[in-house]
Amino acid sequence: MNVSFKNRIASFFLIATALLVAVVFAFIFFMVRNQVYADLEYTLNYEAVRHEKEIMIEGGRMKFINKAEMQEREHREVEVNPIFIQLTDATGNVQDRSPNLKEGTLIFQSGVTGPVDQDHVLNGKRIRQRQIPIVDRGKVVGYIVTAVSSENAHQLVSALQRWLLVLYPIVLLILFGVTRWLAGKSIKPVTTILQTTNRITESNLNERIPLPDQRDELFQLTSSINQLLTRIESAMEREKQFTADASHELRTPLSVLRGTLEVLLRKPRTSEEYIEKIELSIKEIDRMHLIVEQLLTLARFDHPGKSPEKKPVVLKHFLIDLIQRQRKTWSENGVQVDVQCADAVVLQTDSGLLEVILDNLLSNAVKYSSHNHNVQVVVEDRPQLTISVQDSGIGIREVDLQRIFQPFYRSASLEHKSIKGIGLGLSLVQKACDQLGVELMVVSEVNKGSTFSLKF
């Protein structure tokens, strides 16, 4: 059964309140009942003590000395607040009684040595009585029994019980309605969140949920959802931009390749021309292959299948091996790569990811360095192991520093058309650094060079 959140709140509150109200009502009932009967017992005890002093024992028989006292209205009549008095001997034989008892007798309980209270019916009316022993020379010689009508007390307690039983469900119904209304007002922001999130689709990701006036948990929830929507919107925009850029980058070599092949088909060519066009086609194919490889690498970084496998890496040997493999390519630019690293520096890391990082950083440093200028790789192991790649190339403008890690973004590409590139290298570096937990920092000045620092 589906129950709304509002009704669940009201139901939980009602259960707790029902228990509390039941306890309060029970407390009221027992307090009133005890107080009413306490008043009756006080009256009984007072009358018993007062009349006990007026008892005379003569010839083994007990009687009241002051007969005029027995003629008081409460002892003579039974209509208004009657007080019944009865004297019995030790065996229960009635010795004397108040006029209002007439031929009736109060209940006697033999063998008691202390006050005894009882409830019973006299002439069809409820009464409460107290039996107190009369002691003479250390021996119980009789009993004085006092009684008062408990009819009004019983009616009061019964009426209170009925009213409480009637009021209990009414109070609960009222509380349920009020609680349900308050719960509805309390979860109104939740309803707004549901309505807004249901409206948001891919076409209107810029819409946000209005923030509640109160800075409470719902405010934090709404703010968190809005931040999530912002991240989703940014991710969608990046995905669209990435798709557009990837399509553009792949379209260019495909267009060149198609144009080259169409030229070859128009008329017969010499061997040299065929070789030239085929070599151009191979370069464009290599370019497409590089783009696809880097895109696949980016995809693997975005969805890593397992954690990096960190093993000890001797940095100096690792850097020299990497430079030797790329020396032929980099030497075409007339740029040398110098390494400053102690022999004993060992880094616990994933060698594959480290190679992606350093290969791309060094390739960029060589590509953007001035002719016959060296690139420096400096390793410092204190106070924190840091690898810095320094070049003296064209540098990066300050406005571009925050964007150079975006896929396909190329800083100052229009001013330096001769420098070939795709714009994925630094994106790969950033992703690899994130997986290794490496802090990547950039310091650059236009026409003076750039320094990329890796803090492990």
Same domain (yes/no): 249, 358: no
Looking at the fold, whether 252 and 323 belong to one and the same domain comes out as: no
CA distances from 212 to 7, 180, 193, 218 (A): 22, 20, 10, 7
Residues 59 and 152 both lie in one domain:
yes
**What DSSP assignment string belongs to 293-355?**
HHHHHHHHHHS-SS----EEEEHHHHHHHHHHHHHHHHHTTT--EEEE--TT-EEEE-HHHHH
pLDDT (0 to 100) of residue 17:
87
Residues 9 and 118 in one domain: yes
Are 337 and 317 in the same domain? yes
Which has the minimum average pLDDT: 117-126, 130-139, 279-288? Answer: 279-288
**Two structure tokens written together for 20:** 């509390």
**174: in domain:** no
Is residue 197 within 8 A of residue 209, CB to CB? The reply is yes
120 lies in the same domain as 32: yes
Q: Is the pLDDT of residue 46 over 70?
A: yes
Q: Are residues 119 and 230 in the same domain?
A: no
Amino acid letter at 36?
A: V
pLDDT tens for 370-423 read 777 788 888 888 788 898 988 888 888 887 887 887 776 766 544 555 566 567
The pLDDT of residue 412: 55
Domain-located, residue 205: no
- Amino acid 91: pLDDT: 83
Q: Report if residue 200 sits inside a domain.
A: no
Is residue 383 reached through a cis peptide bond, with omega within 30 degrees of 0 on the bond before it? yes
Q: Which residues contact 402 (CB under 8 A, 6 or more apart)?
A: none
Domain check: are 387 and 285 in the same one?
no
Range of the structural domain that residue 317 is part of? 311-455
Global pTM exceeds 0.85: no
CATH code at 28? 3.30.450
Q: In the numeric block, which tokens belong to residue 11?
A: 């139901």
| 437 falls within a domain | yes
- Is residue 206 in a domain? no
CB 443 within 8 A of CB 450: yes
Residues 253 and 330 in one domain: no
Q: Domain count for the chain, please give it.
A: 3
Q: Are residues 100 and 231 in the same domain?
A: no
399 Cβ contact partners less than 8 Å away, ≥ 6 residues apart: none
271 and 334 fall within a common domain: no
With CA atoms as reference, report the closest residue to 388 among 445, 456, 289, 298. Answer: 456
The answer as to whether 164 is a domain residue is no
pLDDT tens-place string over residues 320-364: 888 887 776 666 667 788 888 888 888 888 888 888 888 888 888
Same domain, 419 and 326: yes
Burial class (CB in 10 A: 0-12, 13-18, 19+), 226: middle
